[in-house]
């Protein structure tokens, strides 16, 4: 039949918390799978496609346990938000003296700064940082390099081993950001 997923709670919460304040019990997910298997008479050991809401800040071991229990999607919005900001913050720190006016910087009082304050430059740094973070999550979830390459012409695919995971993850991150913006705009109507 149609595929759907469920976000079963196992101590996970949205947001970011001090380590130790959130106690996850991903081992519960296998009990959910076993119960569902019994109730629906399914042969599959993991009949439910699970979503891990509040995946930001989870330990590697918690993520591995959750994936083994059937998690097929993990929300990492908080981590990607921070990574985006952190890329911008690092750029500002590195180029601070070039971002104080349109003209004048350590290279000379009459030197222009347009190439430093141009949003295409600092947004790119933020996006690169977020792509790297998405790549980390793909590695932790075991999804990096797992999908076959498309035969459609266009950009490189995630399944190609020769593809830089950071660049490939950027397409995923950009889609997630665009989807969030569209959702917010739709909610305002």
Q: Please, what are the averages of pLDDT over each run of 10 residues along the chain (189 residues)?
A: 77 75 86 92 92 82 91 89 96 97 97 96 95 91 81 59 53 55 51
Here the tokens at position 39 are: 């109730």
CA distance 24 to 18: 13
Q: What is the model's pLDDT at position 8?
A: 85
Characterize the bridge pairing of strands 103-105 and 108-112. Answer: antiparallel
Q: What is the model's pLDDT at position 160?
A: 47
Q: Which has the closest alpha carbon to 35: 52, 22, 50, 51?
A: 50
pTM of the model: 0.70
Q: What is the model's pLDDT at position 115?
A: 96
Q: What is the model's pLDDT at position 38?
A: 94
Place of tokens 């109507």: 189
């Amino acid at each position: 039949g149609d595929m759907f997923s469920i976000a079963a709670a196992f101590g996970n919460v949205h947001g970011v918390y001090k380590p130790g304040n959130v106690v996850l019990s991903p081992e519960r997910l296998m009990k959910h799978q076993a119960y569902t298997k019994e109730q629906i008479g399914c042969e599959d050991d993991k009949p439910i496609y699970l979503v891990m809401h509040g995946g930001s800040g989870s330990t590697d071991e918690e993520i591995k346990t959750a994936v083994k229990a059937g998690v097929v999607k993990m929300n990492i919005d908080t981590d990607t938000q921070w990574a985006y900001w952190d890329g911008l913050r690092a750029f500002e720190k590195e180029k601070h003296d070039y971002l104080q006016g349109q003209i004048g910087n350590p290279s000379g009082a009459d030197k222009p700064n347009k190439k430093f304050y141009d949003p295409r430059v600092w947004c790119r740094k933020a996006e690169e940082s977020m792509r790297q973070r998405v790549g980390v999550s793909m590695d932790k979830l075991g999804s990096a390099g797992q999908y076959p390459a498309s035969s459609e012409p266009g950009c490189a695919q995630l399944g190609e081993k020769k593809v830089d995971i950071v660049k490939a993850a950027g397409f995923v991150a950009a889609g997630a950001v665009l989807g969030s913006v569209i959702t917010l705009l739709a909610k305002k109507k």
